Amino acid sequence: MGSFSIWHWLIVLVIVLVIFGTKKLRNIGSDLGGAVKNFKEAVKEESTPKQVSDNSGTGQTIDVEVKDKTKGM
């Protein structure tokens, strides 16, 4: 009684299709796919080092990455 057979899953699939319809399921799938894609892009963007501008008007960009932060004594 632990595992469902293929017939159980087919009946569940038919019931879900009748309740929601194929159009809503397609929209849910595309929305979920878009959310996953945006999440992956955000994670990739977070892993790249940030570039900080010095705002002195020279147009140079300073690439900064903090390695170790200690208090001066």
In tens, the pLDDT along 31-51 reads 999 999 999 998 887 776 666
Q: Find out whether 39 and 31 touch, Cβ atoms under 8 Å.
A: no
Tens-place pLDDT, residues 1-31: 567 789 999 999 899 888 888 888 888 888 9
So what's the pLDDT on residue 66? 67
| Separation of alpha carbons 24 and 16, rounded Å | 11
pLDDT at 58: 64
Distance in angstroms (rounded) separating the CA atoms of residues 43 and 67? 20
The enclosing H or E element of 52 equals strand 51-53
